[in-house]
Amino acid sequence: MKIRYWKILRDLTSDYLKNAMLVLAMALGLFGVGCALGAYAVLNREVARNYQETRPASATIEMEGGISRELVDRVKTLPGITDADRRATLLARMKVHDKWYPILLFVIDDFTRLRISKFTPLSGSRQPLPGTMLVERTALGVMDATEGADILIKTTNGQAQSVQIAGTVHDPSLAPAWQEQAGYGYITLETLRWLGETQAFDQLKIQVADSRSRASITAQAKTVATWLELNGYRIHEIQVPPPNQHPHQSQMQAVMEIMVVFSYLLLILGAILVATSVATLMVKQVRQIGVMKTVGATSRQIAGLYLVMTVVLCGVAFLFSIPLSRYAAWVLSAKTAELLNVVLMDQTIPAWVVLLQLGTGLVIPLLLVSFPVIRASRRSVKTALDHYGVSGSNSGFSSGQMGRMRFGNELLTLSLRNAFRQRARLILSLVLLTAGGAMFMTALNVSEAWFENLSQMYSQRLYDVEIRLNEPLLTNPLIAKLKSVAGVNRIETGSSMAISLDKAGPYAISSTYPDKGHGSFTMQALPIPTRVFRPKVAAGRWLSDPNRREVVLNQGARSQDLKLGDEISLSLAGKPTSWHVVGFTEDVGSPATAYVSLEVFNRLLATPGRGSLLRIGFANRSQEAVFPKIREIEQRLERENTVVRASIPVWIVRNAIAAHLRMLVNTLIAMAVLMALVGGIGLLSTLSMNVLERTREIGIMRAIGATPQKIKSLIVLEGLAIGLFSLVPGFLGSLALSTYLGRFIGNLAFRTPLQLVLSQKGLVIWFTILVTGSILATLYPAHRANRLTTHEALGYE
């Protein structure tokens, strides 16, 4: 073996602890990159595959009246149509442990010949008998039931019936039931009749030949709708969701992309640490470099030695990080798949992930290491042989302002001077600690902002349950009957109806998915003034005149081309209606919604004095107190023959939203812990370098009477000072990062940015970690410094 390789081997084995920390820092960064990239690649492929295998409908045309099989067959023959099917969907209620939850019932024409919006049978019956149903696999948890159990279900017009769970299916086009706090059931038309409903198939699902864009699908759907109207059918709405895109696919991609960004940030921090460590080693070996140049070594050869050493460190990190990151990617993709209700049929991580992991894991460290290596390898022989420690040219503050400062305690003064003696090295340490602190405090800031935003649902909604009635009823008698219920302190009526933004076309077009929730657009008619709903007005004003056609749009309904004062046309009950935009709101937990006056709404629909919504607030708003009161109110309505279509407590909506992005917040905290660990390793490396450079100084201090405890205290105070110096920039960095992530996560979940919340707990915890970590990081350098005798320190080369 060439002597240069013996030198590399000796340098790598001369300090096991330091090199192990470098490998750990690099492995952490590579682990994060491999985990995030691997999970992203698997999920991006599998989510698309799962959704495509359901053969989602390009468009759904909702019609009035029944759809016959003959009509479906005729639609299939139309130009540009590749397939068609008929369905029906209705919202019912199911009883679970004396509590009523929503359940979405899908009425299937033929379970044995599914062609559009398919689902996969998992267990039990493939064709439910009348009086039974199949349920989506994630709904079993919400139902707290197993296959074969009976669930009490009540539809709008029928009596509560016990329906047996005959089997389970997997439908990846739906969000998990536990996220929506609802059930999913698949029944036949006979079962729908048995439940008391007379509704027939009213949804015509079509697949078009040109499904590349929403515009082309919409054009084809309009052509079919025109043909249907010419044949005597009345069109209610055309639903065209984003083509070939899972309802949560854009959210998943955004979350995974931000994880990849932070993983690379972690890798860069680890590479900076390697660069500072190699610089430390070259400081220690300056005279060796001079000797090597004396016997004929070139600057390129010397630089090559340390670059090869960096490659070896990265190679060892690869040995640990690649297999562990692949396993973590499988775990992360599986957990995320649960959030998306997706089955990972193929968990193979593409080869490009490993290649990118290897490439960036080598290029980034080598690029950062090359700067100190090239600078040190270009030293002249005389400069290298005359090296004695800290150079005067880079003494920084120690010879300037810091050298003239006094802090009362000589030990503290000397520690602060030492901290500033190498400004470049100090900056690198501060960057590592600042990044770790900023990320840690950001994670807790965003977490608190997330839950504070959710808590606004209770401050914006002064009611605790929203009861949706089957039809608009006279409101005054209803209020009078329910006010007598003990504990009720506020009741307000209103109305709600699905609408679409009319764009001067003959049909209402919406982006609603088959679950009737994602992509929906609703009009809520409220009494003016309203006493139970206080949304945050982001621009303009709230509704003020009950007799004017004014509309306020929330963040989900607001588009970039809409502004205050615009006139918009909204399709209401199939008819275009004109409204004047007076404000925009930010209300947490609502889909795209247009708020209008109940008086105007009733005038347009010829339903004066009526409402289809009851919003009821209780004196005790706790979940334990609300449920008995809801049951009591429903029983009162039942005695009055008032049909309830849905009963939705506010806490259910809150839990449904909280479940959607809980994993992202947890991932941020995990990334913050990893960054804090890398920052601690960086501080240890910096202090080790500083102690090495001052070995002779320490010998002189020992010679004039400094005790080992004084030397240890000096180094501990230096490390503590560097750690505390990073607190302020870390805090400021967390403000900027929290603002950015708050906007990202808020727009992702609520369509509105999260407010900037400063977590006092996060600041206290990080301060504690910083102080404790700084002290622990100084113990090893202090131990090494005190282990040297005075003679060894003075004779240090």
- 142-151 residue pLDDT tens: 999 999 999 9
The string of pLDDT tens digits covering residues 222-241 is: 999 999 999 988 888 888 98
CB 650 within 8 A of CB 618: no
pLDDT for 162 equals: 95
Q: Rounded to an integer, what distance in angstroms lies between the CA atom of residue 578 and that of residue 190?
A: 41
Is there a domain that residue 645 lies in?
no
Does 529 sit behind a cis peptide bond, omega within 30 degrees of 0 on the bond before it?
A: yes
Closest CA to 790 of 700, 693, 692, 691: 700
277 phi, psi to nearest 5 deg: -70, -40
The pLDDT of residue 392 is above 50: no
What mean pLDDT is predicted for residues 132-158? 92
CB 29 within 8 A of CB 271: yes
The pLDDT of residue 453 is above 50: yes
- Same-domain status, 281 and 404: no
Q: How far is CA 38 from CA 249, 314, 337, 418, 668, in A?
A: 17, 19, 13, 44, 18
Closest CA to 417 of 432, 433, 397, 389: 397
Name residue 57's amino acid: A
Partners of 456 in beta bridges? none
- Same-domain status, 194 and 277: no
- Same-domain status, 40 and 98: no
- Same-domain status, 663 and 794: yes
Grade residue 101 by pLDDT with cuts at 50, 70 and 90. confident
CB 573 within 8 A of CB 521: no
What mean pLDDT is predicted for residues 465-476? 85
pLDDT for 153 equals: 94
The pLDDT of residue 692 is above 80: no
Which distant-in-sequence residues (6+ apart) come within 8 Å of 11 by Cβ? 281, 285, 309
- Same-domain status, 206 and 66: yes
| Domain region containing 505 | 465-620
Is there a domain that residue 249 lies in?
no
pLDDT for 327 equals: 93
- Same-domain status, 147 and 296: no
Name residue 749's amino acid: A
Give residue 239's Cα distance to chain centre: 27
pLDDT for 708 equals: 77
The pLDDT of residue 779 is above 60: yes
The pLDDT of residue 393 is above 50: no
Residue that is last in its domain, among 620, 646, 678: 620
Is there a domain that residue 647 lies in?
no
The pLDDT of residue 499 is above 50: yes
- Same-domain status, 224 and 82: yes
Is there a domain that residue 641 lies in?
no
The string of pLDDT tens digits covering residues 579-620 is: 999 999 988 778 889 999 999 999 998 888 888 899 999 988
Grade residue 299 by pLDDT with cuts at 50, 70 and 90. confident
Is there a domain that residue 627 lies in?
no
User: Which comes out higher in pLDDT, residue 331 or 794?
Assistant: 331
The pLDDT of residue 477 is above 90: no
Is there a domain that residue 246 lies in?
no
- Same-domain status, 117 and 14: no
- Same-domain status, 540 and 665: no
Three-state DSSP at 504 gives coil
Counting the structural domains of the chain, the total is 4
Summary mean pLDDT of the chain? 83
Is there a domain that residue 639 lies in?
no
Q: Rounded to an integer, what distance in angstroms lies between the CA atom of residue 361 and that of residue 353?
A: 12
- Same-domain status, 234 and 297: no
- Same-domain status, 314 and 333: yes
Instruction: Say which range, 55-59, 487-491, 593-597, 753-757, has the weakest mean pLDDT.
Output: 753-757
Is there a domain that residue 673 lies in?
yes
Give residue 766's Cα distance to chain centre: 23
pLDDT for 390 equals: 47
What mean pLDDT is predicted for residues 217-222? 91
- Same-domain status, 137 and 38: no
What mean pLDDT is predicted for residues 708-721? 79
Q: Rounded to an integer, what distance in angstroms lies between the CA atom of residue 519 and that of residue 241?
A: 7
Q: Rounded to an integer, what distance in angstroms lies between the CA atom of residue 791 and that of residue 66?
A: 100
Q: Is 418 left (phi over 0), alpha (psi -120 to 50) or beta?
A: alpha
Q: What is the Cα Rg of the chain in Å?
A: 34
pLDDT for 414 equals: 74
